[in-house]
């Protein structure tokens, strides 16, 4: 039984569980317990605060964990980053009062910076030879300048709206983060096999993100042109239709270029275009 530490509640909780569910791992929904076993996979989940997950995995109490890369870096935990999971994206940035002029990192010399990430910040300041004082606070960092605790802050930003509503502006993006799957460094062979299976399934789920399956009817004369518009994984699937001179073309397309391609395909005679959600792509 391989134990995986997950955030008990908070921003990563739901997506961690839905990722596991999307790869066929169903955890018992006993909400109030801190441990739950998967019904159909040799795994049990341990629900913890995200702050504790990196050390638990480094120490081996949990063999795997899903947590923000920012927490792993801040705690300096000695773990393997087995996969980036593509959710929980954010950055840790330096922000200052919005009325101040900013011409570069020199701004921070002699200033106080409030943060919940003192280790990441002090490493950054040292690398850039900036002499600032770090004020550690664990919550509501964005109010520190207004409260007279500091002149600047170093905090998590995703959309930036919290900064704006506190009269601050982001001036340096220091650390990019997302949720990661971490692993203890001393997995035995059996544990490694379970991790490899998890990674294989996760990949197939992540590969399908942002992609759509597209199928359409196309006049045979336009087929070569359509294939140029729609490169597929190997090559598009082409099937004859009962009507002479027409065929059906199937392929996978990036959602970001979907509408542009649909326009081009319609212009060369494509009809009955269907766009279908994709769940897994197993390469
Ligand atoms: P816990 O109770 O588990 O200690 P928390 O309050 O420390 O939770 P959350 O706010 O739930 O943490 O955030 C968990 C992680 O989500 C962060 O460490 C970060 O990696 C990621 N994240 C993504 N976007 C944001 C955001 N806008 N603000 C904060 N964290 C974010
Ligand atoms: Mg926390």
The DSSP bridge partners found for residue 154 are 94, 115
Give residue-wise pLDDT tens across range 25-60. 988 766 667 888 988 899 999 999 999 999 999 999
Tell me how far apart the alpha carbons of residues 259 and 255 are, in angstroms, rounded to a whole number: 8
Closest CA to 23 of 51, 48, 46, 4: 4
Tell me how far apart the alpha carbons of residues 85 and 186 are, in angstroms, rounded to a whole number: 22
Minimum CA distance residue for ligand 1 atom 23: 88
Q: What is the mean pLDDT of the chain?
A: 94
CA 101 vs CA 97, 150, 165: distances in Å: 9, 17, 19
Q: Which ligand is nearest to the CA of 8?
A: 1
Give residue-wise pLDDT tens across range 165-179. 999 999 999 999 999
Full set of structural domains in the chain with CATH: 2-87+178-207 (3.40.190.10), 90-176 (3.40.190.10), 211-277 (3.30.70.120)
In the structure, which protein residues have their CB atom closer than 6 angstroms to any atom of ligand 1? Answer: 7, 10-12, 49-51, 68, 70-71, 88, 90, 156, 158, 177
Give residue-wise pLDDT tens across range 188-235. 999 999 999 999 999 998 888 899 999 999 999 999 999 999 977 777
Q: What is the share, in percent, of the chain residues with pLDDT greater than 70?
A: 99
Closest CA to 98 of 50, 16, 162: 162
């Amino acid at each position: 039984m391989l134990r995986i530490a997950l955030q008990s509640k908070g921003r990563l909780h739901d997506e961690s569980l839905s990722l596991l569910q999307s790869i066929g791992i169903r955890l018992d929904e006993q909400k109030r317990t801190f441990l739950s076993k998967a019904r159909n996979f040799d795994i049990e989940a341990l629900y913890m605060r995200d702050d504790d997950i990196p050390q638990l995995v480094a120490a081996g109490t949990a063999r795997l964990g899903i947590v923000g890369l920012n927490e792993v870096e801040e705690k300096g935990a000695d773990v393997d980053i087995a996969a980036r999971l593509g959710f929980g994206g954010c950055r840790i940035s330096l922000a200052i009062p919005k009325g101040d002029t900013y011409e570069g990192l020199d701004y921070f010399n002699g200033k106080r910076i409030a943060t919940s990430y003192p280790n990441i910040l002090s490493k950054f300041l040292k690398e850039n030879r900036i002499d600032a004082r770090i004020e550690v606070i664990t919550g509501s960092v964005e109010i520190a300048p207004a409260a007279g605790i500091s002149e600047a802050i170093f905090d998590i930003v995703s959309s930036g709206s919290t900064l704006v509503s506190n009269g601050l502006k982001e001036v340096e993006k220091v650390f990019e983060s997302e949720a990661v799957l971490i692993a203890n460094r001393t997995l035995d062979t059996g544990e490694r096999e379970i991790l490899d299976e998890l990674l294989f399934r996760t990949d197939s789920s992540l590969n399908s993100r942002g992609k759509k399956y597209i199928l359409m009817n196309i006049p045979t004369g336009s087929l070569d042109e359509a294939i140029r518009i729609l490169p597929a994984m190997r090559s598009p699937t082409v099937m004859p239709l009962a009507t002479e001179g027409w065929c059906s073309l199937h392929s996978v397309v990036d959602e970001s270029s979907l509408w542009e391609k649909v326009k081009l395909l319609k212009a060369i005679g494509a009809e009955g275009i269907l766009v279908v959600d994709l769940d897994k792509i197993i390469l």
